[in-house]
Amino acid sequence: MTVCNGFIDSVYCGSGVDGKGLRVVVFLCGCNLRCKFCHNPETLYKKGNEVTAEEVYEKCLKYKAYIRRGGVTLSGGEPFLQKEFCLELIKLLHSADIHVLTETNGQISDDELIIANDGFIVDVKNQETDDLAAYDKFLSLCDKFKKPVTLTNVLIPEVNGDKQKIRALSGLKDRHECVEKIKFLPFHKMCAEKYERLGEEFLYSDKREPADEDISAAYEDL
């Protein structure tokens, strides 16, 4: 087997929000975007720890008994930037019958990686753009290869909480059979301390965190 190194920030066991069931989440480093509201800036501005796919696999395998109804989620950062590493890690995890999802920003469409995964969480970054063409391209491949997708969206009321942006999300779901559901994620400022530790400015410090009624209204507008 070819040894393929990757760069990760951490491996976390016990997530109940990154896909079906209890999951191990592998946070990969590097991203092709610089979202002002990113909750994981440590994956953007740090090189991370260099590891082999085998090392990460062995770490995940320790938790197999706990994640038998869930699996492993590759997150970041943007996992699609580390294609060969992810392909090798997914192959190893599948050899142990472990379900694998990748959480992605959907900007990089790669047939091989899409085929390798069991499904996707696609975080739609509509906060500073109305152009969703890249998501249509990615989701069309998921349609083709029959990969289930959950669309997520970080809701910032005064930025992307209007009906037009929310209905555009609904349009993505309507156009693509692979999309099973849309899930709104509340914007939080708790990540501001991470930016401070990294010596970076948190540019959304003046934005309002959504209340429960904002989230409810967004679902009603779909």
CATH number, span 5-221:
3.20.20.70
Distance CA 185, CA 167 (A): 16
pLDDT in tens, 73-110: 999 999 999 999 999 999 999 999 999 999 999 999 99
Return all residues near 72 (Cβ < 8 A) that are at least 6 apart. 23, 24, 25, 26, 60, 93, 98, 99, 100, 101
Split at pLDDT 50, 70, 90, the class of 2 is low
HSE toward the beta carbon, residue 88, CA cutoff 13 A? 17
Hey, is 137 helix, strand or coil? helix
Split at pLDDT 50, 70, 90, the class of 4 is confident
Closest CA to 54 of 115, 100, 17, 95: 95
Split at pLDDT 50, 70, 90, the class of 45 is confident
pLDDT attached to residue 193 = 93
Return all residues near 13 (Cβ < 8 A) that are at least 6 apart. 24, 25, 63, 66, 67
Bridge partners (DSSP) of residue 23 are 15, 71
pLDDT in tens, 8-35: 999 999 998 899 999 999 999 999 999 9
* pLDDT score of 44 more than 90: no
In Å, the largest CA–CA distance within the chain is 52
Q: What is the mean pLDDT of the chain?
A: 95
DSSP 8-state secondary structure symbol assigned to residue 91: H
Distance CA 7, CA 37 (A): 22
Return all residues near 129 (Cβ < 8 A) that are at least 6 apart. none
Bridge partners (DSSP) of residue 186 are 155
Distance CA 52, CA 57 (A): 9
Q: What is the pTM assigned to this prediction?
A: 0.94
pLDDT attached to residue 97 = 97
